[in-house]
Structure 1
């Protein structure tokens, strides 16, 4: 018997999941900065490890309910692929943005910081924008090309790596950029920097989707006599 999960439950899962994700990212940044004694590398390492663990658990927990997008760019691509109905896209994005804001407030409440504040940490420049495009393109490729049942660990591992190999520390998520502007902490981003990040992330998502599509066998090639199966993908022997 197939059980259809209602939209309300999906939206609630996206809201709670995104809220907890931002609480993990911002909260671990605050804790790491407090305990690192001024060593930014140690603070970033603590932030990375907490994010990797938290993201893996949240995807495993909420994936069966909503797909565990927690990310408007991911939801948009899933809508383009026909895996998320178009009428669910706006509720998903709204839930993700509200959840991100609540996650920032939750982290501040736990650490005794002002609930309402804006970050003063400017993150701007060509390198930062390229980094966000690369981070988001890679994230979409991982999501779209991960073997069945492996997406949660692969996404968590990729984000952990991207914290260190990208100049922006890999937000890769418009909802995360939105939520993090409400925290003047280690993980924060100034409101003036958010539009550039979001634009770069959406461009990156489009690039990731395009690269994935380029790997997909075309309709004309399906059933071609000169195709062989290799690692689950069709490859032309010519």
Structure 2
């Protein structure tokens, strides 16, 4: 009897959950499409940060010495990888239709997750990447609640600090990866490309927010054209 691998079941379940969220929140117009997108992103961020922090605490002893241990020894890591993959596959719909700015991040992340699942190693790296990235998204929610330029400036300071933390973390990851003789050359190449890609995309988002902040400070409150939602009524969130 054919049986799907455990990871495939998790991915399908995650994808299905976000499709259900989309169907319940969206009835077809622009505002509902944005609502569905925001709800899905919020759920993903809370899962990535909440479960991710628990996973990091449980695996804290290997954080800076053994992040390339087997994923099979870290069940929560496997759950987070597959959950994130399901969300990314669902969210490709938005990237391919009206929000192309997310495509580079999504493609790099999907590539990295698939490689981690294929090699069954390095999942903890992606979990920490996700925590840092999604914390930035949650910080931005503070600005979008108060919608104040001064609050936006403060939020960007924390947002930028998280980007610097990502650079420090990526440096540790690359040091461990290149210094571990048990890691295959192909996985080393993938890790270097994926971490460099994540850092570049992260700073691209930071640059966009800094530009947007300067526009707001000059009184131009409308969003950048490439980040506008379909109804063009509210500034878009960027992770």
TM-score (norm 2): 0.33
**The structure with more helix, counted as a fraction of residues:** 2
